[in-house]
Each structure stands twice: as structure tokens, then as C-alpha cells.
Amino acid sequence: MFHSALPFWADHGPDKKYGGFIEELDFSGNDAELPHKRTRVTCRQVYVFSHAKLLGFEGVDALIERGGDYLANRAWLGSDGGFARRLTRQGEVLDPTPDLYDHAFALFAFAWAYRATSEAEYRVWAHRVLDWIEAHLREGNGEGFWHELPPKGWRLQNPHMHLLEACLAAFEATGDTRFEEVAREIVQLFQNRFFNRKTGALTEYFNDNWVIADAERGRVTEPGHQLEWAWILKNCSRLLDVNADDEIRALVRFSETYGLNAATGAVMNSVRDDGVPIDRGSRIWPNTERLKAAIALYELDGADPRPVITATCRVLFNHYLTSSPEIEIPGGTWIDAFDGDGRPQAERIPASTFYHLFLAFAEILRVEDGLVRAT
């Protein structure tokens, strides 16, 4: 984190010509020159450098400011439009669709920026983002929020999970109770709609009335999301005194039972709700979520997380975070995806992955001293 990834991305991540941050790099570590930028990528980079500052990494204030300025002055379309989903490299609006996922990460970014810098304007922006979500994305007569405007396709649990994560970050940073209230509401939505207590599986897709999607789509579950929810729910118990202990255990148990590829040791991208694999391949992020879930169980039940941390870090460092025979990458970067047989599938280096890696490794560092003392 400190000796390799942060120095590399502090230098290669910013778009020094057009502002904000670069979407993806090629395998030489140069700008891949994609014609677009997603708002969520800038949000995630603001988080990374804010958290890094809190952990003692110096010289990132300008990077936090760069991201905040890009969000406020380029991606924000005003009180009617919210945040655009995608911009051109030059900063023109390419896709103005308001997306709950992007707004959740904008709230997450501003919460962490405020926590890292104490700049009042970031707190103002955190409230502005939640104001917009409440005014435009909340379903008028039902539960939760629309995933985009105008709503189309299946309703999704995933952006709600990230909105919960963002509200927890904002509540921890500011103490403002409105963030707590929305967080509690989303926990209820998880317990009432998303989570199947009989199977331990997390449903991904729903119709407009929160009825599980039909046919095979409704049976899809992502082990990475299960593990991510487990860690977020543990934070709910810490910050909100919410008891989701049984759900945390069941989410992790399902993923550890059905979500691992025995051939590679990686967390599979998706399985069916009965555990049958759908996509045996694995991106980086489900594996980082396995690390966080192991720490959640450690803090919940005292379960020793070291076997999972050891096994998963071995997978990450031996495959994803190092060059392969097929692909050579610079230090501090990654090969983002492998297929079910362990062959690399990535075409470029996505900047968005840094959020997952940094948060997971920061969690390991957070509990490391306690594990050492315990043993």
C-alpha cells in the first residue's frame, strides 16, 4: 500500500490534462486513453487517498482536492440532474443518467474527504448528495430507492449495499443522524427483501415491487457481495448497535461453502442460490471481500481469520498483484480478472479496483496488532 501502490497511483492515476482521474491504464502503466470517465472512479480514488492520509501517507491533499473539484464542478449537473454517470475525457457529459450506485459512492467520497481533511465543504456536499437521493431516487410509495432514472430493468440490491456503506461512513465522519436513519432503513430492506434465511443466499435482482426476478436471473447470487454485506453489517453493529449476527454468519457460511473455486482458491464471480456455479472466474474484488468478511467474523465470534487471510493473500499476491507469463504489469498494479481455470482475462488495469484492495488491506492492518497479541 505505502511502498508500491500509493506512490504509483498518486503519480499515474491523475488525469493531468483534463482533471479528475484516469479510468484505466494499459499493462505498461500508461493511460489507456479510454474515451470516457465514470463518476464512480473519481469517487473511489478520493476515498483511497483520504483513507491513506488518515493512515499517515503524506502528500495526498492535492489529490483529494482534485477529486472533489472534479465531482463538484464537472460531474455534478445541478439540483435537477444530480451526478452524471459518465463524462468524456475532456469533461463533457456523455451519459447523464442519475445512478444510485454513483451517488452512493459520491456520498462515500465526500464523507471520507471530510473525515481526512475536516474541510466543511465536504460535509456540505455529503448532505447535498443525500438530499438529492432522497428527493429524486426514493421510491414514493414503497421501500428503498430506484437504481437509476428513469427506472428500467431489474431493481438491484447492490447500489443499496453501497448506499448503506456510504451512510455509515458519513455518520461516522459527521455524527449527523440523518445518515444513521437511512442506514437503518437499508438494513431493514436487506433483512426483509434481499436475504433468504432458508438458503443463506443474497438475491441480486427484483421487479419493481421487490419480488424476486423470474427464471434463472432471480437465482443468481454473488459470493463477493455476500461477503461484502457481512463486513458492512458488522459495521452496523458497531456504529448503530444493530444485531445482524445470524445474517453475518449465514452470508459467510454460504460463500465459504459454495463460493470458492477449488482449482484456483479464488472466490467465484457468481453461483446459483443452491450453490451451483454460474461463473467460475474471479475478479480481484470478491477476494478482497473475503478478507473483510473473515475479519468481521473474528470481531463477531473470535473466529481466527488467519487461515482465510493467508490463503486469500496468497491468491492475490501470487496471481493478481504480480506479472503472469502472459501479462507483465508494473509494481503497485494488478491483473483484475482470471477465468475459472486460472488464466488471466483482463485487458487493462482498472483504477476502480484500488478501492477494494486498499480497504481490505487497511482492515488487515487495523486488526494486525490484536492478532499478534492474541498469539
Q: What's the pLDDT tens digit per position in 272-312? A: 999 999 999 999 999 999 999 999 999 999 999 999 999 99
277 membership: H or E segment, kind and range: strand 277-279
Buried b (16+ CB within 10 A) or exposed e, 62-77: ebbbbbbebbbebbbe
Has residue 375 got a pLDDT over 90? Answer: no
Strands 277-279 and 270-272: antiparallel
Residue 370: the pLDDT is 87
Has residue 374 got a pLDDT over 90? Answer: no
Residue 313: the pLDDT is 98
Residue 222 belongs to some domain of the structure: yes
pLDDT band at 62 (very low <50, low <70, confident <90, very high): very high
3-state secondary structure 293-362: HHHHHHHHHCCCCHHHHHHHHHHHHHHHCCCCCCCCCCCCCCCCEECCCCCECCCCEECCHHHHHHHHHH
Residue 31 belongs to some domain of the structure: no
Residue 78: the pLDDT is 97
Residue 236: the pLDDT is 98
- Mean predicted confidence (pLDDT) in 234-240: 97
Residue 105 belongs to some domain of the structure: yes
Residue 140: the pLDDT is 81
Q: 121: domain CATH number?
A: 1.50.10.10
Measured CA to CA, the distance from residue 211 to residue 374 in angstroms comes to 46
What's this model's pTM, rounded to 2 decimal places?
Answer: 0.97
Residue 151: the pLDDT is 95
Has residue 45 got a pLDDT over 90? Answer: yes
Q: Kindly report, residue by residue over 86-138, the tens digit of the pLDDT.
A: 999 999 999 999 999 999 999 999 999 999 999 999 999 999 999 999 999 99
Residue 28: the pLDDT is 97
Residue 350 belongs to some domain of the structure: yes
pLDDT band at 218 (very low <50, low <70, confident <90, very high): very high
> Helices marked H in the chain — which ranges?
5-12, 39-54, 61-70, 78-81, 100-117, 120-132, 158-174, 177-189, 223-240, 245-258, 284-301, 306-315, 353-374
Q: Kindly report, residue by residue over 26-42, the tens digit of the pLDDT.
A: 999 999 999 999 999 99
Residue 266 belongs to some domain of the structure: yes
Residue 33: the pLDDT is 95
Q: Kindly report, residue by residue over 247-278, the tens digit of the pLDDT.
A: 999 999 999 999 999 999 999 999 999 999 99
How many domains would you assign to the chain? 1
Give the position of cell 491504464.
25
Q: Show the domain range for 276.
A: 100-366
pLDDT band at 226 (very low <50, low <70, confident <90, very high): very high
Residue 373: the pLDDT is 84
276-279's contacts with Cβ under 8 Å and 24+ in sequence apart are 277/340, 278/220, 279/340
Longest dimension (CA), the chain: 55
Question: What letter represents residue 309's amino acid?
Answer: I
Residue 202 belongs to some domain of the structure: yes
Residue 115: the pLDDT is 98
Has residue 187 got a pLDDT over 80? Answer: yes
Has residue 141 got a pLDDT over 80? Answer: no
Has residue 165 got a pLDDT over 80? Answer: yes
Has residue 359 got a pLDDT over 90? Answer: yes
Residue 322: the pLDDT is 97
Residue 372 belongs to some domain of the structure: no
Residue 220: the pLDDT is 97
Omega prior to 98 cis, within 30 of 0: no
Residue 331 belongs to some domain of the structure: yes
